[in-house]
Amino acid sequence: MATDIKKCIDNMDIKSFQDDLIGWFVSEQRELPWRKDQDPYKVWVSEIMLQQTRVDTVIPYFNRFLENFPTIEALAYADEEKVLKAWEGLGYYSRVRNLQSAVKEVNEKYSGRVPDSPKEISALKGVGPYTAGAILSIAYGKPEPAVDGNVMRVLSRILLIWEDIARPASRKIFETAVRELISHENPSYFNQALMELGALICTPTSPSCLLCPVREHCEAFHEGVQNELPVKTKKKKQKNVQLAAGIFSDGEGRILIRKRPGTGLLANLWEFPTVELSLDFQRQRDQLAEHFEENYSLAPKIGDSIGEIDHVFSHLVWNIQVFSGQITGEISETPQLKLVTEKEIKEFAFPVPYQKMLKQYLEYKKADQP
């Protein structure tokens, strides 16, 4: 640990800091469904969902997911299609694939009990240092650090840490600091309180210092530099990808859907036929028709564009031109290629941009009817 951070901790009244923080959490914590008990499985599911996703968004997903898969055994034996469907709309689908894979291992190797040792839990697929620390401290009461963006922001201000939190190496500094500060009597509440403080009070911009229960312990507040911390370098600019997608129906009104590859972005989710456009954007419809012919040996009838959708991922942006069309001929269905009715399509898991496309298509179709 850097000398100035260690000096800062040495000068703190750690017991008083713990008491102020935990006392505030006891009285001010939000009522969240995963806080109703300390079930390790529920803590695990909630922490995976909360990665990259806001609490308000997660709550209905968490409740629905636990209704469908109430136990480790239920998720271990669940059909992947149903798991992806329950996750539909949350994004970052590798999270739930890794979760199910790890849950299967827990079910087989540990008889359905989430391991309570740092070494064993960290070996599970998709369980990084933060998730491991959260489960161990919240569910098992072990004094392990659970350092996420909220915690790094809070501690960078309290301890005046000027390290760039965007650098992976910085995490170790914060983990070491938490080990020095964490309450051994109540590590569960201590870690949750740090997270809650970052979410409600010590926010990225305009922190509510006058409402903060630990401002007396905060070096940044005393020096008036709370708005300058944490130090965080900006990410690289996202890549823009131009796509054309078609919602094609056959003579019976069934819609053509296909399954994405088993690896890579949005793996194993369903989509409508889509092609990445070359630089010749004027030929969007032609490029989509050529893609359709190459893949299905049929020349489709493609109508006018019914809309445009932009979808932002962490590393790229999709700009999608959406078309409707008709299939002229027989399509050979496979496990990866299906013709489904508007009712049947609800059973398949689609990424958010394709959910938006379907909504556009159904509205367009309804408006087009006399």
Residue with tokens 């965007």: 166
Report the amino acid identity of residue 17: F
Q: Which residues lie below 8 Å from residue 145, measured CB to CB, with a gap of 6+?
A: 129, 133, 137, 174, 175, 178, 179, 182, 191
Q: Which of 47, 88, 163, 175 is catalytic?
A: 47
Q: How many angstroms separate the CA atoms of 132 and 338, rounded? A: 40
Report the amino acid identity of residue 157: R
**Are the C-beta atoms of residues 180 and 158 closer than 8 Å to each other?**
no
Note if 216 is an active site residue.
Answer: no
Q: How many angstroms separate the CA atoms of 148 and 128, rounded? A: 11
Catalytic residues: 47
